[in-house]
Amino acid sequence: MKSNVLPWLAVFLAVTSLLRGAEPTVQSVTTRDLALVYSVDAAHRLMFRHFGPKLAHEAELARAKTPAVSDVRSMRHWEAYPAYGRAEVYSPALQVTHADGSLVTELVFAQRKTLPAPEGVTHTVFVLRDAVQPLTAELHLEAYAQENVFAQWVEVSHSEKGPIAIGSIFSGFLPSAARKYFLSHFHGAWSSEMTLSEEELKPGVKIIESQRGVRITQQDNPSFLLALDQPATEETGEIIGGALAWSGNFRLSFQVDEWGQLRTLAGLNPFVSELKLAPGEPFVSPKFIFTYSPAGRGLVSRRLHDWARRYALADGFTPRSIVLNSWEGAYFKFDEATLTGMIDGAAQLGVETFVLDDGWFGNKHPRDSAEAGLGDWQTNIKKLPRGLNYLADYAESKGMKFGLWIEPEMVNPRSELAERHPEWIVQSPGREKIAMRNQWLLDLGNPAVQEFVWQMVDRLLTEHPKIAYLKWDANRHVSQPGTTALPADRQSSFWTAYVRGLYSVYAKIRAKYPQIILQVCASGGGRVDFGALAYHHEFWASDNTDALSRLTIQYGTNLIYPPIATAAHVSTSPNHQTGNVTPLKFRFDVAMTGRLGLELQPKDMDAAEQEFARAAIATYKRIRPLLAQGDLYRMHSPYEPGGWVSQMLVAKDRTQAAVFVFSTQAHRRGVVPTLRLRGLDPAKRYKVTELNRLAPAKGAGAFWGNGQTFTGEYLTEIGLEANIGKIYTSAVFLLEAVP
């Protein structure tokens, strides 16, 4: 072994010392306000030095001595990307078993490179090499200047004598030194997605993860907020916010070490996921997106929203069409007349897109329930004898667009597809396949399955050129992982192969059909992450459409993900899932804080309800540019006692805002919420108009000063009192700057 390695090492050290001579010792990557600072120490290690506000004197960091390689006791002793084997004694970012069986990796800094990037973005690469083996780990960093957001990922490649085995490969490592650490993360389940959980981190390791492969965020979302020193508030405190752009198994690990320092790792879940890598075969980890706020979590949300709208979402700043989705209004029980009736009703309300949900396909095995038909993507001729084009034309004749539900990753045992291609199903040889919601999972890691799904979607869209919207659902997760597409010694690559295969199909659809609106859905909000969102316009936040539950679900969701991407539909009362009874106005006001839609049969509404709905939809059209382009500020949280929830959207130029306030419990007479508004220009005068008033509007409404003007200063410092207090009452105000 020695004779092979020594010449390589000599060249490598010569090159690195040459390069080091040319490089400044302090290595920083910056956005408009933030800096991520590393330094190269005497042992050639790339050390993490700072993440937070930009430093005026960052060169000072070069002076500070980093501890010796063998010293693990010192403060701030963090490699930028710690690999296992040298002095690292904590969970490493990278663990490799080399081709020769060696367990040790020692990354030393070789080079800093700048790669081309879009305007407003810098792309820096720190090339790290193992001191002995021909293995390279490139640490990539994108800095999004105006949004103050970073993306980090790693690419590993090697030219060792045979395959290496990667035991863990995290995308990002962020250490912190504070007195205390408060972690917020978002656990959930079907119908209670993105439930905020906050806790103080104690010595030891706290792991947030998913091992479900698909529908991962039903377990926990791959995102977090980390408050330093004190618990997070909207406007105070140092907060780091992060999210892994990945729709498969992930791990966020928070280790408080014996010195009270915190080591945060974000990346792929190493759980049964060893990756074999042949010489010359690179592996690229998903992107870890993160930001920092010196002023509370509100700013973290706004930074992530801005970043997502510009770089992660399709058409992120474009106001969205109002949708009526057929699911809760018809479920599987419909024929052509049911649907044309829904289209008529929706058109009269001002809805712009009609989406036909589950149940439209399958002939040999009709999809009349969740028991059969998945995989057989032909229109059911009994239900829809004139086909989908007839419905699309009909919608068009009513001035509406037409959309369709699909669930391409799945197959019912009772389907022609399962009969034809049993080898495409995720399975473990010789074992009985477990069905969930009566369905099996297709192996998207298999190129043949990718091609089948792509062809199916392509054919659907070619044969039905008026389809303007696709809802992509996924109603089970992985069990009995196994793939016929990979050799026996690579079965543990199943998890990443699946997600990459799925993304390759998404990418083809986006490239060929950029004008089609895409919604990601997985039994509700089971796939809400920046990885999938990069190919979509929006996500279905939850199958729970109860407005009260939605206040909590959407609050958690919008801490990380932007409101414009949050599909929020008004459904009937009592609610199908919860049985909760809420007024139509409350349901509309809640749904209007996201991408408004309806999830009902319009003819089930009486005349007064239809009139209210028509007016509310017209109002939403007025304020939706704020949702697309504005900033979100939260005042009252559903997690705080008091029974109020309030938030607002403010235009970037601060000339307009929409304020939403909800009463979630019965308050004593005279107890009303005071809304000290945020994000306004104190010097401007704003006219306050109440929107969405119940028709016929009578009395003072929810604001005694309706139609009057106030300075931004008054609205911020004194505030606006909303005259609501009964359970499930709500109000919406429009603020317009006046000359």
Q: Can you tell me the distance from the alpha carbon of 298 to that of 690, in angstroms, rounded to the nearest whole number? A: 25
Cα first-last separation, the chain: 79
Site string for ligand DGJ, 438-477 (x = CB under 6 A): -----------------------------------x-x--
User: Minimum Å distance from CB 543 to ligand DGJ?
Assistant: 5
Least distance to ligand DGJ from the beta carbon of 589, Å? 22
Please give the residues from 230 up to 269 whose contact with ligand DGJ meets the rule CB under 6 A. none
Which segment (134-142, 198-206, 298-306, 516-524) binds ligand DGJ by CB under 6 A?
Answer: 516-524
Does residue 88 interact with ligand DGJ by CB under 6 A?
no
- Among candidate residues 617, 392, 622, the one with its CA nearest the CA of residue 516: 392
Which structure tokens are listed for 388?
């989908």
Distance CA 45, CA 547 (A): 53
In total, the chain counts a number of residues equal to 739
Cα 3-81-14 angle, rounded to 5 deg: 40
Candidates 65-73, 75-83, 521-529, 546-554: pick the segment binding ligand DGJ (CB under 6 A). 521-529
Q: Specify the stretch interacting with ligand DGJ by CB under 6 A; choose among 297-305, 520-528, 588-596, 626-634.
A: 520-528
DSSP-assigned letters across all residues of 344-378: HHHHHHT--EEEE-S-SB-SSS--SSTTB-TT--S
The answer to whether residue 409 forms part of the interface with ligand DGJ (CB under 6 A) is: no
**Count of CB atoms situated within 10 Å of the CB of 257:** 16
Contact 641, 667 (CB under 8 A): no
**Site pattern 475..514 for ligand DGJ (x: CB under 6 A):** x---------------------------------------
**101 burial via Cβ count (<10 Å: 0-12, 13-18, 19+):** exposed
405 binds ligand DGJ (CB under 6 A): yes
How would you label 559-582 residue by residue, b for 16+ Cβ within 10 Å and e otherwise?
bbbbbbbbbbbbbbbebbbeeeeb
Q: How far is the CB of 581 from ligand DGJ (least distance, A)?
A: 22
Q: How many residues bind ligand DGJ (CB under 6 A)?
A: 11
Residue 193 in contact with ligand DGJ, rule: CB under 6 A: no
Alpha-carbon gap, residue 479 to 425, rounded angstroms? 11
Minimum separation from the CB atom of position 435 to ligand DGJ (A) = 15
Give the number of other CB atoms < 10 A from CB of residue 344.
15
Q: Residue 343 belongs to what H/E stretch?
A: helix 336-349
- Choose the catalytic residue: 376, 543, 546, 631: 543
Q: How far is the CB of 524 from ligand DGJ (least distance, A)?
A: 5
Nearer to ligand DGJ, 214 or 675 (CB): 214
Rounded Cα gap, residues 25 and 21, in angstroms:
9
Say if residues 317 and 309 touch (Cβ distance below 8 Å): yes
Least separation in angstroms between CB 523 and ligand DGJ: 5
Quick check: 540 binds ligand DGJ (CB under 6 A)? yes
Residue with tokens 């592996």: 283
- Give the nearer residue to ligand DGJ in terms of CB position, either 326 or 496: 326
Of 212-220, 304-312, 517-525, 637-645, the window that binds ligand DGJ (rule: CB under 6 A) is 517-525
- Quick one: 318 exposed, middle or buried, by C-beta within 10 A (0-12, 13-18, 19+)? middle
For residues 158 and 471, which CB has a smaller minimum distance to ligand DGJ in the complex?
A: 471
Q: How far is it, in rounded angstroms, from Cα 649 to Cα 639?
A: 20
Burial class (CB in 10 A: 0-12, 13-18, 19+), 436: middle
473 flagged as catalytic:
yes
- How far apart CA 613 and CA 611 sit, in angstroms, is 5
Is 358 a binder of ligand DGJ (CB under 6 A)?
yes
Q: Which is nearer to ligand DGJ, 241 or 362 (CB)?
A: 362
CB closer to ligand DGJ out of 439 and 496: 439
Nearest approach in angstroms of CB 518 to ligand DGJ is 14
**Least distance in Å: CB of 7 to ligand DGJ?**
59
Count other C-beta atoms under 10 Å from residue 455's C-beta. Answer: 12
Kindly tell me which of 545 and 582 has the beta carbon lying closer to ligand DGJ: 545
Among 521, 547, 590, 691, binds ligand DGJ (CB under 6 A): 521
Q: Which is nearer to ligand DGJ, 196 or 521 (CB)?
A: 521
Q: Spell out, one character per residue from 323 to 352, where the chain touches ligand DGJ: x when CB under 6 A holds, - when not.
A: ----x-------------------------
User: Which lies closer to ligand DGJ via its Cβ, residue 421 or residue 569?
Assistant: 569
What's the DSSP call for residue 289? E
Task: Decide: 27 and 40 in contact? Cβ < 8 Å.
Answer: yes
**Minimum distance, C-beta of residue 410 to ligand DGJ, in the bound complex (Å):** 10
377 near ligand DGJ (CB under 6 A)? no
User: CB under 8 Å to 678, separation ≥6 — which residues?
Assistant: 235, 298, 633, 635, 648, 650, 716
Q: Give me the residue whose beta carbon is nearest to ligand DGJ.
A: 358
Site membership for ligand DGJ, residue 311 (CB under 6 A): no
By CB under 6 A, is residue 572 in contact with ligand DGJ?
A: no
Place of tokens 């800093």: 112
Is residue 361 involved in binding ligand DGJ (CB under 6 A)? no
Question: Tokens 């419905």 — which residue?
Answer: 391
Q: Does 543 bind ligand DGJ (CB under 6 A)?
A: yes
Closer residue to ligand DGJ, CB minimum distance, 211 or 412: 412
Q: Give the residue ranges of DSSP H helices in 561-711.
A: 584-591, 607-629
CB of residue 475 vs ligand DGJ: minimum separation in angstroms? 5
Cβ nearer to ligand DGJ, comparing 305 with 471: 471
| Measured distance CA(708)–CA(385) in Å, rounded | 57
CB-wise, 358 or 589, nearer to ligand DGJ? 358
Range in contact with ligand DGJ (rule: CB under 6 A) among 208-216, 461-469, 498-506, 518-526: 518-526
Told to check if 357 binds ligand DGJ by CB under 6 A, we report yes
Q: Which residue lies nearer to ligand DGJ by CB, 253 or 542? A: 542
> DSSP string of 60-111?
HHHHSPPPPTT--SSTT--BSS-BTBSS--S--SEEEE-TTS---B-EEEEE
| Site for ligand DGJ contains 524 (CB under 6 A) | yes
Spatial contact of 396 and 437, defined as CB atoms under 8 Å apart: no
Supply the minimum distance, in Å, between the C-beta of residue 312 and ligand DGJ: 21
Which one of residues 523, 552, 572, 730 is an interface residue with ligand DGJ (CB under 6 A)?
A: 523
Catalytic residue among 130, 443, 473, 546: 473
User: Is 130 a known active-site residue?
Assistant: no
Least distance in angstroms from the C-beta of 321 to ligand DGJ: 17
Q: Which of 721, 720, 635 is nearest to 670 (CA)?
A: 721
Shortest CB 407 distance to ligand DGJ, Å: 7
The window from 166-174, 336-344, 418-426, 519-527 that contacts ligand DGJ (CB under 6 A) reads 519-527
Q: 631 pairs with which residues across the strands? A: 650
List active site positions. Answer: 473, 543
Footprint of ligand DGJ on this chain (CB under 6 A)? Answer: 327, 357-358, 405, 473, 475, 521, 523-524, 540, 543
